[in-house]
Amino acid sequence: MTAVGFIGLGNIGRPMALRLAASDLDLVVYDVAAAPVEELVAAGARAAASVAELAADVDVICVMVRDDDQVRDVLGEVLGVSGDRQTVVIHSTVATDTPGQLADVAASHGVKVVDAPVSGGPMGAAEGTLAIMVGGSDEAYAAARPALEVMGSKVVHAGPIGSGTKMKLARNLLHFVAFTAVTEAQRLAEAAGLSLKDLGDVVRHTDAITGGPGAIMYRETTAPIAQDDFWHGVFTHVADLGEKDLRFATALADELGVDVPLADLALTRLRPGLGL
């Protein structure tokens, strides 16, 4: 049976570790805070008194700490006691060059590293439905996979070390640009005398049906689309509808005196961005 260690029992790490505790994997946990450790022990995990004690007792070490510096500190303590069987799984979202740097250092100790940031928030962590994006060698991915599949319902091997982090950043670029677009839509709706809560209900309802922005993400390239390509007709229809509605929306914004720079930019970028 694979023995898994989990370091960092915070807002997302704690429910991730609870999923592992409920599985048939042997789980050891460590955190500087006592309360989440006690909760995990009550759920069936064993507690370690230090990172080093945890690392000496497990095969796979999941790390969900605050930032790059804390990840480096944890890895330093792991390498001080590691053998050649461990795989360190970095769940923290770090700088793009950090996973590769850490993997190089760990390799000199015979330790494998994967970067495996997650998407889905505390709710996905609690339900075991996280998307987990993994960068690393096939061997390291295979070693981490039993634990990853307990915590996430969508586990993607994105490529070599660092690829998981890059995919997470691309995903979050979409996430937070969309949040910024939401602020424009809310200002427009508010100026038009509409209920922002009702608008939010409509957005969540329809995105659950259509897939939201992910509905157009099926091509393997962003290159221009050939006229005889299936997607040319599909995306031409998307662009025609999008430009029509964006023109109406920006005209309403002008009428109401609402600044919508992202919408103005989208009107010029949508069609070429789709590859048309």
> Which residues are known catalytic residues?
168
Output the six-digit token pair for 162: 């660092």
Strand partners, 118: 132
The candidate with the shortest Cα–Cα distance to 60, out of 150, 157, 167, 168, is 150
